[in-house]
Homo-oligomer: A and B are copies of this chain.
Amino acid sequence: MDMMTKDQYIESLRKLHLNLYSFGEKVENPVDNAIIRPSLNSFAATYELAEDPQYEDLMTATSNLTGKKINRFTHLHQSTDDLIKKVKMQRLLGQKTAACFQRCVGMDASNAVYSTTYETDEACGTHYFDNFVKFWTDVQENDWAVDGAMTDVKGDRSLSPSKQADPDLFLHVVERTADGVYVTGAKAHQTGYINSHYVLVMPTISMREGDEDYAISFACPTDAEGITLILGRQSCDTRKTEEYNDIDVGNKVYGGHEVLVIFDHVFIPNEMIFLNGEVQFAGMMVERFAGYHRQSYGGCKVGVGDVLIGATALAGDMAGSAKASHVKDKLIEMTHLNETLYCCGIACSSQGTKTKSGNYLIDLLLANVCKQNVTRFPYEIARLAQDLAGGLMVTQPSEADYRNPATHDYIEKYLKGVASVPTEDRMRVLRLIENMTMGTAAVGYLPESMHGAGSPQAQRIMIARQSNLEMKKELAKKIARIK
């Protein structure tokens, strides 16, 4: 089969039977749900841009499994050039959607599972690699959307999985049969799940002996029996359902979502299992997935940052402050920080290396450095955006007041900035900045930059582990002439 078009993709989602809840009700039709739809539009952009010839080089690749042209989001990276193109593709999509387009998690998961299953089989005589290659060939052939699921809810952070008061706080195998296993637990913060055909599940942390039931990786349809979904609510989410939902939403077309995914005794057949008790390989899978995903943030958030910088510059133009030296300087600083993130995304890609399985892994140290910066710079970029946008960003009247004849003319008159710019345009830009720094998009641009692909402390632990401090001490000893 060829790659899906955007429309085919959207239609394909209508066939899913998701057991999804939101705002206290079952959602019968997620595709047309006002709250969820913008996230579907973002995801769909990964299909749409792949259809566009001008983006062919970034958006598509040649499969190492089938030799066919595939969407790069389903690609197993075959070179450092592939890794770099991945980052550029993500920046492009960030620029087009100003939101989380959600398809990276599955891409990153697949590359981690691919190389880990290979090495697990090599060490343990298992056959997970074959399982995965077969599954992933289907994914590529059908151009499926796949969600990668790692983060367990974790309960009490001071206790290991098996020490929790409730054993289900980390997803685990609760029953084993000849044909497969049953799993119970929950994966939190899942971006894109509702817009995906399959979910690819991985363990959430390194494991040790005794944790065998928790060392489980598998794939299953997103609407498998026993799975329940509860939508997370975002800042300002219901603006999308208001009568006047054009201006105040900021970004009307695109968005993201996060969902709590509950597995309640879900059956996984053997051929869809990629790790099952080999505790010593849980850590590798986690580390590689996290590494790929920390790289990803050096692309997608940079693209979102581009939009925020652009919006901030527009706000300055519209207020007549664009020529003030401090305004120009702050835009430079925003750009500088944003491009520093991009440097990190590019560098960890450029320094990638081939795994035993043949696909390419990013440089783990630099990928963690990348993500660590992502936990800081978007916050400063957002702060500067709020500085330059001015207070009106959070005090302007609602669109309903703008449409109300009793108040329209006052708003039109008094929210005018530069005389030649329509007031409505200025309102739109300010609402976009609000959206990206406090509203629905801020969820993706700020806390997700903080916690997605692991919280800052997780990166620091990896940086410590990868920093080769002993070698550095030797360098210093030599210079100081210490034996």
Contact = CB atoms under 8 A, between A and B. Distances in A.
A242 B360 CA distance: 49
A397 B319 contact: no
A414 B186 contact: yes
Interface in A148-196: 151, 153, 155-159, 164-166, 168-169, 186, 188-189
Closest 4 CB pairs of A and B: A24-B400, A310-B472, A310-B476, A232-B395
A333 B142 CA distance: 45
A232 B84 contact: no
Contacts of A480: 250-251, 311, 425, 428-429, 431-432
Contact of A481 (B158, B345, B393, B428): B428
Interface string A7-31: 0000000000000011111100000
Interface stretch (A48-56, A64-72, A281-289, A461-469): A461-469
A349 B469 CA distance: 26
Contacts of A239: 238
A407 interface: yes
A411 B233 CA distance: 13
Contacts of A397: 21-22, 230-233, 260
Nearest to A457: B326
Contact of A386 (B156, B450, B472): B450
Contact of A447 (B311, B346, B394): B394
A188 B392 contact: yes
23 contacts: A155-B417, A157-B320, A159-B320, A169-B416, A186-B410, A188-B392, A230-B410, A232-B394, A250-B480, A251-B480, A252-B481, A253-B481, A259-B395, A307-B472, A307-B479, A310-B475, A313-B473, A335-B469, A340-B343, A346-B347, A347-B350, A386-B447, A391-B455
Interface string A443-483: 10011101110011100100110010101111111011110
Nearest to A411: B230
A467 B396 contact: no
Interface in A230-289: 230-236, 238-239, 242, 244, 246, 248, 250-254, 258-260, 262
Interface in A388-418: 390-398, 400-401, 403-404, 406-407, 410-411, 413-418
Interface in A354-400: 365-366, 369-370, 372-373, 375-376, 379-380, 383, 386-387, 390-398, 400
Given A230-B411, A310-B473, A313-B476, 9 more contacts: A23-B400, A24-B403, A156-B319, A250-B480, A260-B411, A309-B472, A329-B329, A336-B463, A339-B463
A393 B262 CA distance: 18
A314 to B, nearest CB: 5
Given A417-B156, A474-B310, A401 B343 contact: no
Contacts of A230: 397, 401, 407, 410-411
A425 B479 CA distance: 12
B447 A235 contact: no
Given A386-B450, A396-B232, A414-B186, A460 B332 contact: yes
A438 interface: yes
Given A260-B414, A395-B232, A343 B370 contact: yes
B339 A369 contact: yes
Given A307-B479, A347-B346, A477-B314, A414 B169 contact: yes
Given A189-B392, A235-B434, A309 B157 contact: no
